[in-house]
Amino acid sequence: MKSGLKIATIGGGSSYTPELIEGFINYHSELPVREIWLVDIEEGKEKLEIVGNLAKRMVQKAGVPIEIHLTLDRREALKSADFVTTQFRVGLLAARELDERIPLKHGVLGQETNGPGGLFKALRTIPVILEICREMEEFCPNAWLINFTNPAGMVTEAVLRYSNIDKVVGLCNVPIGMEMGVAKLLEVDHKRIRIDFAGLNHMVYGLDVFVDGVSVKDQVISLITDPDKSITMQNIHAIGWEPEFLRALDVFPCPYHNYYYKAGDMLEKELKNFKAGGTRAEIVKKLEAELFELYKNPNLAVKPPQLEKRGGAYYSDAAVRLIHSMYTDKQDIQTVNTMNKGAIASIPFDSAVEVSCIITKNGPKPIAMGDLPIQVRGLVIQMKSFERVAIDAAISGDYGTALLAMTINPLVPSDRIAKVILDEMLESHKKYLPQFH
């Protein structure tokens, strides 16, 4: 009988890894992790060693009996794993830079998970996650796949549709970040907050907000109309909402909705930064370089506070809280990406959605939210259509399907511009898109 849990983390050389290690340390009394295998690719070997050595110092300082293993052999890491977490970036930050720069060059929003950038991140990532799923079938068929890799919703749906792995949960830190933001706004403990979430990854809405079971939605919407109190993320330079619009919307938008309801303003801001020589990818590169210099310090044995600037706030809270609740059959409510199963009436039963769920040892059980309000339903359905077509393009490598996905994305203004951007991005990313070449 196993004496503890084995975690395999694919993309273990990520700058986010100390967040994950901190979470497992904090939960260790109730979540008996015995081994954490951090696995990466040859190009990430140096970062893996730096962050892996920090992870070893962290568990040593905490005095918890967790073994940290570093490897470039994914199959070795997967053997008999109980949970597989994925946090990888195909093409590394250089690919993200292209995802942001090429669309902006053509006057279209360049963003990591939205618009053309989101499409190409999916095209590069989905074949790799399906390869991982095939290896999981062989080496850890009973493991749960906990996916943090963006675009998390599309990756989760691809696994559900095109692999034999059904024990998969997609996770994002946006919902927990919104909960924490509301708690801060209302000056109450986060544990007293509950938000009914429904939608898609990076397209999720808070349908209602509760403190101790009493709805405070109107109060929260009123508060976030103040630009100084708007709930934002490190990686999104939000502008502030029109108060009348938010009150009429009557639901709580997520930070990524800025790209849709303030498309012109956000594009203008991104173009200004682009012309000045910088996109978010360049900022992240600089932050990562600084973080890894910190990680090298042999006297550092805790997660440095500078990591919060990276955009991963509450990442370990979300990740380890989910694994803990599944392991202990806690049956608490968390928001994850999972098969809809009728929870949101206007989205197909077998599609992946981001929705409030009861977390059990058998996985998430989506809570029925009924239909989305009419004022947001159309945008969500349009994005789900885009996601489905994008996934089909990633699997088939069909040019026409990729062009269709690009064109129906609401952030792309025409089929002509879609084709120009598609052609340039296919050429620029061809190393990571063998299915198209």
Active site residues: 256
Q: Which residues of 84-105 are buried (b: 16+ CB within 10 A; e: fewer)?
A: bbbbbbbbbeebbbbbbbbbbe
Q: How far apart are CA 205 and CA 196, in angstroms?
A: 8
DSSP letters, 100-167, are HHHHHHTTS---SSSHHHHHHHHHHHHHHHHHHHHHHHHH-TTPEEEE--SSHHHHHHHHHHHSS---
Closest CA to 408 of 381, 432, 374: 381
Q: What Å distances lie between residue 111 and 135, 290, 429, CA to CA? A: 31, 23, 16
Instruction: Specify the residue for token string 């070449």.
Output: 437
Q: How far apart are CA 239 and CA 232, in angstroms?
A: 9
Find the angle CA(349)-CA(351)-CA(352) to the nearest 5 degrees.
Answer: 125
Closest CA to 337 of 158, 208, 90, 195: 158
SS3 271: helix
Q: How many angstroms separate the most distant Cα atoms in the chain?
A: 60
